[in-house]
Each structure stands twice: as structure tokens, then as C-alpha cells.
Amino acid sequence: MLLEIEKLERLYEEKFQEFLSRNQISSIQVSFYPYSQIKHTLRIRSGKVIVRIANSFQNAPIEVQKALASILIAKLLKKPVSSDEKKLYLNFVASLKKTIPQSGRRNLKPAKGKFYDLEEIFDRLNEKYFQNTLSKPILGWSTRKTSRKLGRYDFVNKTLIVNSALDDSKVPDYVVEMIVYHEMLHMKHSFRKGKNGKKCFHTAAFREEEKKFEHFEKAENWLLNNFI
Ligand SMILES: [Zn+2]
């Protein structure tokens, strides 16, 4: 179901009123924008607020839109964001990843990247978090950097793929590790069928174990700041 633009504009108006007095804002314009990545912008030009939300968020539930509004406004005003809202936002981003068409095994670059070696990371994490119980999948970097997916585990081909945009000196090691760790949890937990017959990958047990990653919050925050 699409949220009407007017409804979204009212939502931003309400959120702004929590921080600013009414006369600081003259109008609010919200639109969806075909950004190639998950990216949103919020600008203020002489009292006019212009919000552009990535197209992929057109079907986002109202709670996610509210969380995004809080995140964008907090970022602009340099205020903290509640962890509940961060979680709502990031969980929705994770759910989007599943709907993106899958690329085959041929679209894979070797595990040893320019900056990070996925085999090394896998072995380290396997020992630290899984008592070496996971058998090594095929590991590799995606060939395209533009994909919105940070990582993916392909159950059919037993292949763990990480977005090659993360093979970069600007990306902290704990971020790459968290993506690999997340995909390793998919290997461990597999999935269960939900009531609606849909596969459920991120079960409560999965989410609980995900938080055991040593730098979970730090990595999540880094992703949050570099996703928007
Ligand atoms: Zn996942």
C-alpha cells in the first residue's frame, strides 16, 4: 500500500515541530526519488524543507517512515536517534535486500580482495563465534558495487557474497566482519516457514545471536551513517 505524499508531509511537519518552532519552516515537500542506492536527503532552503526518499521506500510501513523522518531530522539537527528507530529502519533495509534479484555464482570476484580477505575473516569468525562448526562456503566479492545488498548467502550454491563496495580502506574492518557474521548466521539458522507461507530468515533467535557480534552497535551506526 502506498502512503500518500500528503500524509508523509504531515508526518515531517509533526516531527519538525518536536524540535523547531512553527515559523522556522514555511513549507514541506516530500517526494520519492529514483536513487540507485538506498539513499534519502533532507534539505532546508530559506524555510522550505525538501525531502527526497529512495523509491524503494514507497512500500515502507508508516512506522518505518516515521523512523526515517526522525533519523533524517536528527542528522540535520545533530541530535541522537533512539535505538528503536534505528532498528526499525535497518530491519526494513535488510528486508529490502531479499527482494532484489539474485545474481548467479559467475558474478563473483575472489575472496581475497584489495583490502579484505573474506576467507581470513570467515575463519576468524568461525573460530570465535561458531566453534569452527560451519563448513566453509564459496566466498567472494560481488562484481557490481551498485547493488544495495551488503551481503548475501546463497543456500543453493552454498556461496557467501559480500558487496565489493565494502572492500575499501574507508570501510572499517568490523563492518565487513559484521556483514560476514550476519551471512554466517544465515548458514547456521537457515530459515523457517512463517504462517503466511513466506520464508522467515531473520527470526527472533537470529536477531538475538546477531547482537553477540562484538562491535554490533558500532558497525550498525557506521552503516546507518553511510547508508543515508
Ligand atoms: Zn539477512
Gap from CA of 89 to ligand 1 centroid (Å): 14
Q: Does some domain include residue 200?
A: yes
pLDDT at 34: 75
Can you give the pLDDT at residue 100? 47
Query: Are residues 129 and 51 part of one domain?
Result: no
Cα of 202 vs centre of ligand 1, distance in Å, is 6
Looking at 37, 64, 95, which one is the last position of a domain? 95
**Are residue 124 and residue 222 in the same domain, yes or no?**
yes
Which CATH number do you get for residue 36?
3.30.2010.10
Rounded distance from Cα 101 to ligand 1 centre (Å): 15
182 lies in the same domain as 114: yes
CA of 186 to the centre of ligand 1 (A): 7
Is the separation of the CB atoms in 187 and 153 below 8 Å?
yes
What distance in angstroms lies between residue 1's CA and the mean position of ligand 1's atoms? 24
Residues 91 and 120 in one domain: no
Query: Is the Cβ–Cβ distance between 68 and 89 less than 8 Å?
Result: yes
Residue 156: CB atoms within 10 A of its CB come to 8
How far is ligand 1, taken at its centre, from the CA of residue 88, in Å? 14
Q: How close is the Cα of 111 to the center of ligand 1, in Å? A: 20
Total domains, the chain? 2
Q: What is the pLDDT of residue 147?
A: 63
- End residue of a domain, out of 48, 73, 95: 95
**How remote is the CA of residue 149 from the centroid of ligand 1, in Å?**
10
Residue 9 counted as domain residue: yes
- Cα of 32 vs centre of ligand 1, distance in Å, is 25
Report the C-alpha gap between 25 and 137 in whole angstroms.
53
Distance 51 CA to ligand 1 centre (A): 28
Whether 115 and 179 map to the same domain: the answer is yes
Q: Which of 95-99, 105-109, 154-158, 197-201 has the highest mean pLDDT?
A: 154-158
Residue 120 inside a domain? The answer is yes
Residues 88 and 164 reside in one and the same domain? no
Q: Is residue 177 part of a domain?
A: yes
Whether 101 maps to a domain, the answer reads: no
Identify whether the C-beta of residue 122 lies closer than 8 Å to the C-beta of residue 115. no
Residue 132 pLDDT grade (very low, low, confident, very high; cuts 50, 70, 90): very high
Q: Determine which of 38-52, 119-133, 155-169, 193-207 has the lowest per-residue pLDDT on average.
A: 193-207
133 half-sphere exposure, CB direction, 13 A CA radius: 8
CA of 226 to the centre of ligand 1 (A): 19
CA 2 / ligand 1 centre spacing (Å) = 25
Residue 11 lies in a domain: yes
Do you know the residue count of the chain? Answer: 228
| pLDDT tens readout for residues 91-114 | 898 888 765 444 445 568 999 999
Query: 46, 68, 95: which is the final residue of a domain?
Result: 95
175 is a domain residue? yes
- Give residue 158's pLDDT: 87
Q: What distance in angstroms lies between residue 191's CA and the mean position of ligand 1's atoms?
A: 10
Do 223 and 118 share a structural domain? Answer: yes
Residue 155 resides in a domain: yes
Q: Write down the mean pLDDT value for the chain.
A: 87
Burial class of residue 225 (count of CB atoms within 10 Å of its CB; 0-12, 13-18, 19+)? exposed
Burial profile 79-88: b = 16 or more Cβ within 10 angstroms, e = fewer: eebeeebbeb
Of the pLDDT bands very low, low, confident and very high (cuts 50, 70, 90), residue 1 is very low
Residues 124 and 213 in one domain: yes
Q: SS3 sequence, 32-57?
A: EECCCCCCCEEEEECCEEEEEEEHHH
Domain that holds residue 153: 108-227
Residues 112 and 221 in one domain: yes
Q: 188 pLDDT band (50/70/90 cuts)? A: very high
Confidence label for 160 from pLDDT (cuts 50, 70 and 90): very high
Q: Give pLDDT, residue 216.
A: 96
- Distance (angstroms) between ligand 1 centre and the Cα of 30 equals 30
- Please tell me the distance from the alpha carbon of residue 16 to that of residue 13, in angstroms, as a whole number: 5
Give distance in angstroms: CA of 203 to centre of ligand 1: 10
Angle between helices 83-97 and 216-227 (to 10 degrees): 70
Judgement on whether residues 22 and 65 belong to the same structural domain of the protein: yes
Q: How far, in Å, is the centroid of ligand 1 from the Cα of 59? A: 19
Residue 187 has pLDDT above 50, yes or no: yes
Of 151 and 25, the structure prediction assigns the larger pLDDT to 151
Same domain flag for 195 and 134: yes
* Same domain for 88 and 119: no
